[in-house]
């Protein structure tokens, strides 16, 4: 299997987590990883905090602009200078992206 082929198994769950932050994942995440939606679990608490951070950034940056920036970061496309600056300014790599990747790993392992 090629390197690019294996990446798809990491990227799709990340994009599903991103869609769930937008409440637009068609309940796929809740089916494949129900602990994400239980605030009494560790991952449920992470999701609650992640949603708060996501909403705050979205209000400051703009709904579509922020979603698109995060999506570009997750699929690891080359960012232009403005996007790189915004990513660093918001510390996306150290917060949201890291947590989304962690949740995506759990999502892909819970019901593979």
Per-residue model confidence as pLDDT tens digits over 55-76: 999 999 999 999 999 999 999 9
Higher model confidence: residue 108 or residue 68? 68
Supply the pTM of this predicted model. 0.89
Q: Above 70 in pLDDT, residue 105? A: yes
Report the distance separating Cα 46 and Cα 75, nearest Å.
Answer: 22
Q: Is the pLDDT of residue 99 over 90?
A: yes
Structure confidence by residue, pLDDT tens digits, 17-45: 999 999 999 999 999 999 999 999 999 99
Q: What angle do CA 20, 26, 29 make, to 5 degrees?
A: 50
The pLDDT > 90 percentage for the chain reads: 83
Give the pLDDT of residue 2. 47
What's the mean pLDDT in 71-89? 95
Number of neighbouring beta carbons within 10 Å of residue 100: 24
Is the dihedral angle over the CA atoms 78, 109, 21, 40 positive or is it negative? negative
Cα–Cα dist 5/66, whole Å: 27
Q: What is the enclosing helix (H) or strand (E) of 102? A: helix 96-110
Task: Please tell me the total number of residues recorded for the chain in this structure.
Answer: 112
Q: Which residue has the tokens 């392992």?
A: 109
């Amino acid at each position: 299997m090629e390197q690019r082929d294996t990446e798809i198994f990491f990227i799709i769950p990340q994009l599903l987590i991103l869609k769930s932050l937008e409440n637009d994942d068609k309940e796929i995440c809740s089916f494949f990883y129900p602990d994400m939606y239980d605030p009494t679990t560790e991952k449920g608490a992470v999701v609650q905090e992640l949603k708060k951070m996501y909403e705050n950034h979205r209000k400051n940056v703009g709904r579509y602009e922020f979603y698109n920036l995060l999506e570009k970061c997750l699929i690891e496309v080359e960012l232009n200078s403005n996007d790189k600056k915004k990513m660093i300014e918001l510390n996306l790599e150290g917060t949201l992206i890291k947590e989304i990747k962690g949740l995506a790993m759990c999502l892909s392992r819970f019901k593979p």
